[in-house]
Structure 1
Amino acid sequence: MYAIIDLETTGGQPTQDRITEIAIFIHDGEQVVDSFSTLLNPGRPIPFYIQQLTGITDEMVRDAPHFHQIAKKVVQMTEGCVFVAHNVRFDYSFLKKEFADLGYTYSRKTLCTVRLSRSLIPGQPSYSLGKLCANIGIELNNRHRAFGDAEATAILFDRLLKISQVAEAPGYEAAAPADKLAAVDASAPSGRPAKQPTARKVAAVQQAIRTALLPPLITPEKVASLPQEAGVYYFHDEHGEVIYVGKSINIYKRIQQHFAVDYKSRKSLDFKNSIADITWELTGSELVALLHESWEIKRLKPQYNRAQRRSVFPAGIYLRVDENGYKRLYYGRADARNSEIPIIALGNQFKAKGFLYHKVAKYNLCQKMCDLYKTTGSCFDYQVHRCKGACVGLEPPDEYNARVDEAIESITYEHQTFVIIGQGRRAGERSVVVVEHGRYLGFGYIDETFTARRFEAFKDVIKPQVDNKDVQQIIRQYMRTKHKDKVKVFA
């Protein structure tokens, strides 16, 4: 049994939007045997652009039932059924969220008619419901209304079942999509194939159920080929462009998690539907995977990566020692006009200033000594007894500098020049990550028999990379974990 379902909603995010209309068609594998549809009161205003799209207004749903009033009927109608929809993750995620809000876990096997259509009617210019129905001769009335879209999806699903039943006919595999549809119509006088369930029918539908969580353009074979090893992976669109870069210690498991998560927004659905291919690079080391991912995101600037796309860090935190021996932190530009090397590079001077304010407060430093309070006398914190008087020479430099060192240590490495030797991509290989004078130089690979006492020997085997705030943070955080890598320190 199959429950073909379509929903209309107040927006594209299940976490905050609600259902305004639901339609369900029950198909027994041969024909539609039951149906149900109703408007729903979402308990909130319907945005104007949604009203324009669907034609559903606040006035229309004012006296409609709330979801909890029809929830039992939805459960009963779909019990034991496969949940079928066009872009099934959208409708399924919204229903799961509505039930979760009621304290009920709604769970069904799912089947996506987009994926099944791509499998059985390949070569269509578009697999959106409206365009696909127009191309294969299915009448779609009341577009963007739940009943109209669900009815068209039910007809499409019925058509797909028929195609799968005649799939073993001679010449079927080589036939054009239009010829396949014609074969369906000619397979029985009534237009319905004789009841001869074939292995192909079972295989096509069951595979669609098993792979319902996958993006429509990704095959099960591609997922099965993914390595269960550490590395960086790339999602490509139909044109081969990289649209997302990720990393994991187990690429196969991580990508399975990507595909299993519930749909969160229209953007996340568009992202998933855009994935046409997956490639990867093994790194062996988790740290190298983290660093390489950061580099690739900045290099490729993928459409669906946001956190690490910045490749230029024009501001930073610096250190100088004044004529009285006080160590003074300050913020400023981090570009060619400043020859000093920053302790940490940041996105802009506003962020650098905020970062420095945080360190001043945490380590009880002087705002004036950090160029955050402009005055010829004492700073404001000294006047309210929060500063110990370094700004007026009352606190000895060694005492003040000790706290400055603590602040610096919190944003730098324990050692300034070192090599991290970790797992390689294959047996007998080791990865190396090189840091010199607090700056990340890059990573590379060596044979496990490699021996070197000179730091320069490690620099010779790495692929040069760019140092920035992100990689500094990656290395610092990794060093604080219970990793099993060897750290070789140089003076």
Structure 2
Amino acid sequence: MYAILDIETTGGKFNEEGITEIAIYKYNGHEIVDQFISLVNPEREIQPFVVNLTGINSNMLRNAPKFYEIAKRIVEITEDCILVAHNAQFDYRILSTEFRRLGFDYERKTLCSVELSKRLIPGQPSYSLGKLVRSLGIPVTDRHRASGDALATVKLFKILLDKDTTKTIIQESISLNPKKQLEPKHIDIIASLPTITGVYYIHKANGDIIYIGKSKNIKKRINQHFTNTNAKSKKIQLHAASVTYEATGSELVALLKESEEIKRNNPIYNRALRRKTFSHALYSFKDNNGYINLKIDIADGRKNPITTFTNRQSAKSFIEKVVEEFKLCQKLSGLYKTKSSCFNYDINACNGACIEKENVVDYNLRAQQLTEKYSYKNKNMVIVDRGREIEERSAILIENGVFKGLGFFNLNYQINNLEVLHSFITPMENNRDAQHIIQNYLRKNKRLKIITLE
């Protein structure tokens, strides 16, 4: 029995993707005997290029079941089945990762229709699913959606079963998905590492740093580096001789230290993938009528943004949220292009700034409250977060809107005094990456303790 499946994901960092849609067809070699198709709420952001490719966006998934709600059904429909997928290594990894997050070891035998096609239908110009089924005359609907791609794989698999006349090639191709074995030196390295939040440094035998990263669980992250099979991980595995680390307690401190350390050391395996951590920003300006307008634009280091984002989609999602939170106008926030009133005004959710009905002062007061909440421009404050130990806290100092540095203090300290603060703060560079990291962290962590300084 076979379980032929396709999975659509959020995209993003390796092993941090989430499932957005899954389709499984149980196939007995002759016909489909059962099926399961569902959208899935991944509980994380979908990368914009994935939205464009699949058409699946966050609004569609808002009321979709979360993975734990469909996990039992997936286990049942794939029980005693061989998983079949086009690039099975990817789908199996994603599925196993989701189950692992639930504390469940999901293990199935797999067959990859890409590898089978190369053996049974040689000489094809491409073995991507779309081009391969087109060349074989297999009709496909809903391309890049789980159901459409899984059904296409079912039809392809029927052809592959027919072509395997000896009935041995498919049997030989079944993979037991053994886990990658760690080398002895890597086992020793992992054994010496803690499960704490911090910054880690991977060194060559001569001590040179080849990679710097941050993690909320250093041991787990290094284990991923040593077991992943992507090109960068393989290079790291080849040269890694030791790992050192610095505990931070706070993820914000780890992010800031990671950014500064990469700039300072420029490790060889950070270079190729190191890009700006943000691409878009939220700016404000006054229009000819005196109203404060909001605008999402490409991040520009010469301008002062309210806050910054890793992509346009996350910026748009933020704008939609704050328009509702501060009762702002969709038109003046760049969400609704019109020469007259915005949609919210028509449903009595906007006070009419779009048609100059609302008083400018009243409207601008709410817009300024947004800026006050999500920007630390001209502010004097300390962001207090977790420390490295129970009785310790971390402090990130902002003076006149400028990031000055960070440090750790004992809970007995009174840190409202600038002189006391400066005594334990380590100065750090106030660059655009640091500003983005802090703004992004403040935006996503609502319960942070923030002390305003006089």
Say if 1:351 and 1:429 are closer, same or farther in 2 by CA, change over 3 A.
closer
1:256 aligns with 2:216: no
Contact 1:429/1:445 (<8 A) preserved: yes
Is the CA contact (8 Å cut-off) linking 1:315 and 1:345 kept in structure 2? yes
Q: Tell me which residue corresponds to 2:90.
A: 15
Q: CA deviation at 1:438?
A: 5.3
Shift of 1:464: 1.9
Cα 1:66–1:400 change in 2 (3 A) is farther
The amino acid of 2:426's aligned partner reads I
Within-5 A mapping of 1:120-159: none
Q: Distance in 2 between matches of 1:391 and 1:274?
A: 60
Q: Residue 326 of structure 1 corresponds to which residue in structure 2?
A: 291
| 1:283 corresponds to which of 223, 248, 251 | 248
CA distance in 1, matches of 2:319, 2:442: 24
> Please, what TM-score do these two structures have when normalized by structure 2?
0.50
Equivalence map 1:361-440=2 (5 Å): 365-366=328-329, 369=332, 379-382=339-342, 389-401=352-364, 403-405=366-368, 407-408=370-371, 411-412=374-375, 416-425=379-388, 430-436=393-399, 439-440=402-403
Percent of aligned pairs with the same amino acid: 32
**For the structure 1 residues 428 and 257, does the alpha-carbon distance in structure 2 shift closer, same or farther, using more than 3 Å as the test?**
same
The DSSP-based 3-state class of the residue aligned with 2:305 is: coil
Report the counterpart of residue 188 of structure 2 in structure 1. 221
The aligned runs of 1:452-491 (5 Å cut-off) are: 452-460=415-423, 461-466=425-430, 467-478=434-445, 480=446, 487-491=450-454
Tell me the CA shift for residue 227 of structure 1.
Answer: 2.8
Check conservation: 1:360, 1:367, Cα contact below 8 A: no
Alignment of 1:2-401 (within 5 A): 14-15=89-90, 18=113, 20=115, 40-41=119-120, 45=124, 47=126, 65=164, 106=176, 108=178, 213-214=181-182, 216=183, 218-237=185-204, 242-260=209-227, 263=229, 265-266=230-231, 268-297=233-262, 299-300=264-265, 302=267, 309-311=274-276, 316-320=281-285, 326-330=291-295, 338=303, 341-345=304-308, 365-366=328-329, 369=332, 379-382=339-342, 389-401=352-364
Note the C-alpha offset of 1:427.
7.7
Equivalent pairs counted in the alignment come to: 312
SS in 2 for 1:404: helix
Structure number with larger C-alpha Rg: 1
| CA distance 1:410–1:425, change in 2 (3 Å) | closer
Letter in 2 for 1:287: L
Give the aligned residue type for 1:15.
Answer: F
From the superposition, tell whether residues 352 and 425 of structure 1 become closer, same or farther in structure 2 (CA, over 3 Å).
closer
* Deviations 1:361-410 (CA, angstroms, capped at 9, x unpaired): 76774576458999xxx835559965754244212225533653565467
Question: Tell me, what secondary structure is at the counterpart of 2:200?
Answer: strand
Cα-to-partner distance string for 1:74-117 (whole Å, 9 max, x where unaligned): 5xxxxxxxxxxxxxxxxxxxx7xx65xxxxxx365x7xxxxxxx
Amino acid at match of 2:120: N
Structure 2 vs 1, CA of residues 428 and 412 (structure 1 numbering), >3 Å: closer, same or farther? same
Relative to 1, partners in 2 of residues 1:476 and 1:66: Cα closer, same or farther, differing over 3 Å?
farther
Q: Residue type matched to 1:255 in 2?
A: I
Equivalent residues of 1:442, 1:464 under 8 A apart: yes
Q: Unaligned stretches of 5+ in structure 1?
A: 1-10, 23-38, 49-60, 75-94, 100-105, 111-211
- In structure 2, what is the Cα distance between the partners aligned to 1:14 and 1:420? 43
Residues 332 and 354, structure 2, Cα contact 8 Å, conserved in 1: yes
Task: Pick closer, same or farther for the CA change 1:456–1:352 going to 2, 3 Å.
Answer: farther
RMSD: 5.3
Aligned pair in 2 of structure 1 residues 351, 267: CA closer, same or farther (>3 Å)? same
* CA 477–367 in structure 1, closer or farther in 2 if over 3 Å, else same: closer
3-state SS of 2:90 partner: coil
Q: Which moved more, 1:409-418 or 1:245-254?
A: 409-418
Q: Distance in 2 between matches of 1:268 and 1:224?
A: 19
- Judged with a 3 Å threshold, the aligned counterparts in structure 2 of structure 1 residues 364 and 420 are, in CA distance, closer, same or farther, namely closer
Post-superposition shift, 1:281? 1.5
1:279 is matched by which residue type in structure 2? T
8 Å CA contact retained: 2:283, 2:305: yes
C-alpha distance in 2 between matches for 1:476 and 1:306: 28
